[in-house]
């Protein structure tokens, strides 16, 4: 791949003269891979498809199913409608197993949240009304302050291809360059299964980028990985722009030191902490991907290396590797993690050993001191779906905790291999693509003093009287990197473990109220009618046999 020569001689805070070029500076005197050049006018030519060119090549076929249909049928319909290539790429990027599909919220929430967090980016959903309602509800529950676009459809518009035309008309109406840099259109399950061809949308309208993605629940396993679907699509678009010619410089100006792009959402203080750790080596922290504005993606591509803090961003990694950027796994967490990560970064940039040692000597002792001030005692099981579970486990172990089990809904990758090996060498059971049953079995069978997990795992633990913490809200919402991360978990974890007596009192107070269909206070014994249950089950079995027989006809 070839790209234009790098930006001109301006420094951070300045804008490059249009058409200027010079070689980028790095510690080794040479940057690996392709270069990004900037201009001040944002006049990069982008391929534009006219409305006539964007028309579907063939009528969209009806799938005859709603979003309630089994995932196997939805996938078969999507392949029959011409979306097999998309599903094959999902299977490669986000491999499943040993558990086929972890229990989590709709995966499209991940990509929706990425789009809603970006400035000057509009998001549009195409899917069943019930799905769109749920996604918009949860997005606002998590703090979105922006409207979500919606293109409704019915059986007729889906069958005739009118839905695609409605989407195309909608983005034409929305494409206001004074308001938006980009519009993201997302197909949910039914439009994907029906083959609604977002790839045929114009790539640009009135200077506004149009990005169409498919995020079906039967193709993308978790909402964490759906973040990667959109991040990768945006990086691909930005990389194509950079290949076409000069692109706008970041509004904050460009960094005059070689940068490390940080891959994965993290606590806001962590990028600053990482930047401080890189400074002794003459390096700087670059943008965090997923980005918060479009121009940050140019700066993210214009890095010397990428740190895969969250290791499941396969699509984004593919774009960085296509641009010639090396990718480093793990993160600067704990004593050993900080020491090894700084060494790996320094070697990637050909930093002198003395500078690497200076960075290590400046921060490794500080991490060790912070860990000593906040020791953790107790056995812990940990699970989640954010992608940082292995990093948190490393930090807990170096804090003194006995971590018996780590489950993550994400798949294993070579970027998580070092963390997995480190944990397993210390006797930790590491489970990728962990199911709810896996996490509950660990919470029940390993007799932990504290359970850290997702909502159903935490609920289960509290019912048993075991202290528990919700991973996403109480663990991910804290710094993890460097000295700040080393002391961030001790207080909340120790406070939770110390609440065991209170949990026992609560369990004893509610003892005897029953569970499931016998829950509550009864004057007598619950009126159980197993004969009714048996008769109803026979009806269900009969209906299932009839459905299977119909499939064979």
The strand pair at 284-289 and 402-408 is best described as: unpaired
**Cβ contacts of 364 within 8 Å, gap of 6 or more:** 335, 338, 339
User: DSSP E strands: which ranges in 172-283?
Assistant: 182-187, 204-205, 208-214, 247-248, 259-263
Instruction: Record the tokens describing residue 318, joined without a space.
Output: 């593919």
Instruction: Record the tokens describing residue 10, joined without a space.
Output: 């301006």
* Residues of the chain falling short of pLDDT 50: 1-30, 32, 40-64
**Cβ contacts of 375 within 8 Å, gap of 6 or more:** 399, 400, 490
Whole-number Å distance between alpha carbons of 439 and 383: 7
518-541 burial code (b ≥16 CB/10 A, e <16):
eeeeeeeeeeeeeeeeeeeeeeee
The strand pair at 204-205 and 208-214 is best described as: antiparallel
Strand order in the sheet with 402-408: 429-432, 402-408, 379-384, 450-453, 468-470
Strand order in the sheet with 182-187: 149-150, 121-126, 182-187, 208-214, 204-205
Task: Identify the residue whose tokens are 């005692």.
Answer: 377
> What is the reported pLDDT for 21?
33
Burial of 511 (0-12, 13-18, 19+ CB in 10 A): exposed
User: DSSP E strands: which ranges in 385-449?
Assistant: 402-408, 429-432
Whole-number Å distance between alpha carbons of 410 and 102: 8
> What is the reported pLDDT for 117?
93
**Cβ contacts of 493 within 8 Å, gap of 6 or more:** 376, 378, 380, 396, 399, 401, 450, 469
> At CA 199, angle to CA 63 and CA 264, rounded to 5?
100
**Cβ contacts of 96 within 8 Å, gap of 6 or more:** 221, 411, 433
What backbone torsions phi and psi does residue 111 show, to the nearest 5 degrees? -70, -35
Beta carbons of 377 and 400 less than 8 angstroms apart: yes
pTM: 0.82
> What is the reported pLDDT for 100?
58
Q: Is the dihedral of CA 98, 99, 100, 105 positive or negative?
A: negative
Neighbours of 412 (CB within 10 A): 18
Radius of gyration (C-alpha) of the chain in whole angstroms: 26
Whole-number Å distance between alpha carbons of 107 and 308: 21
Whole-number Å distance between alpha carbons of 472 and 271: 19
Q: DSSP for 96-128?
A: --SSSS---S-THHHHHHHHHTSTTEEEEEES-
What the chain holds in terms of domains, given with CATH numbers, is 71-221 (3.40.50.1980), 259-368 (3.40.50.1980), 374-508 (3.40.50.1980)
């Amino acid at each position: 791949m070839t790209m234009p020569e790098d930006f001109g001689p301006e420094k951070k805070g300045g804008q490059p003269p249009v058409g200027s070029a010079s070689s980028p500076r790095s510690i080794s005197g040479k940057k690996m891979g392709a270069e990004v050049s900037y201009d001040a006018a944002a006049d990069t030519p982008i391929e534009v498809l006219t409305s006539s060119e964007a028309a579907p090549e063939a009528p969209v076929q009806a799938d005859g199913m709603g979003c309630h249909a089994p995932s196997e049928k939805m996938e078969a319909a999507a392949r029959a409608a011409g979306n097999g290539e998309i599903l094959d790429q999902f299977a490669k990027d986000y491999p499943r197993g040993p558990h086929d599909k972890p229990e989590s919220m709709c995966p499209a929430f991940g990509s929706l949240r990425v789009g809603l967090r970006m400035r000057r980016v509009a998001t549009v959903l195409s899917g069943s009304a019930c799905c769109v309602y749920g996604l918009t509800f949860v997005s606002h529950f998590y703090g979105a302050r922006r409207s979500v676009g919606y293109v409704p459809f019915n059986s007729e518009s889906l069958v005739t291809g009118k839905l695609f035309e409605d989407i195309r008309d909608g983005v034409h109406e929305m494409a206001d360059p004074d308001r938006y840099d980009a519009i993201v259109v997302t197909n949910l399950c039914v439009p994907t299964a029906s083959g609604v061809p977002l790839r045929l949308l114009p790539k640009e309208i009135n200077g506004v980028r149009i990005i169409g993605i498919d995020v079906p629940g039967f193709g993308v396993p978790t909402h964490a990985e759906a973040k990667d679907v959109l991040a990768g699509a945006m990086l691909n678009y930005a990389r194509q722009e950079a290949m076409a010619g000069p692109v706008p410089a970041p509004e904050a100006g460009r960094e005059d030191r070689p940068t490390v792009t940080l891959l994965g959402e993290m606590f806001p203080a962590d990028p600053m902490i990482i930047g401080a750790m890189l400074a002794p080596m003459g390096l700087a922290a670059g943008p965090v991907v997923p980005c918060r504005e479009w121009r940050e993606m140019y700066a993210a591509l214009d890095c010397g290396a990428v740190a895969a803090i969250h290791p499941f961003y396969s699509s984004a990694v593919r774009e960085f590797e296509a641009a010639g950027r090396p990718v480093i796994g793990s993160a600067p967490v704990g004593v050993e993690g900080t020491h090894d990560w700084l060494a790996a970064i320094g070697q990637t940039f050909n930093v002198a050993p003395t500078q690497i040692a200076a960075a290590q000597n400046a921060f490794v002792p500080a991490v060790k001191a912070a860990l000593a001030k906040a020791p953790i005692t107790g056995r812990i099981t940990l699970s989640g779906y954010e992608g940082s579970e292995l990093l948190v486990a490393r930090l807990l172990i170096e804090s003194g905790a006995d971590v018996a089990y780590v489950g993550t809904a994400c798949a294993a990758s070579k970027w998580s291999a070092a963390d997995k090996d480190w944990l397993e060498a210390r006797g930790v059971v590491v489970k990728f693509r962990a199911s709810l049953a896996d996490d509950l079995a660990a919470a029940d069978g390993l007799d932990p003093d504290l359970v850290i997990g997702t909502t159903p795992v935490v609920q289960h633990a509290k019912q048993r009287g075991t202290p528990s913490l919700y991973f996403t809200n109480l663990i991910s919402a804290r710094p993890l990197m460097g000295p700040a991360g080393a002391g961030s978990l001790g207080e909340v974890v120790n406070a939770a473990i110390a609440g065991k007596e209170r949990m026992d009192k609560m369990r004893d107070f509610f003892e005897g109220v029953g569970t499931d269909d016998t829950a509550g206070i009864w004057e007598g014994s619950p009126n159980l009618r197993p004969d009714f249950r048996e008769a109803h089950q026979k009806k269900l079995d009969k209906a299932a046999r009839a459905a299977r027989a119909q499939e064979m006809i």
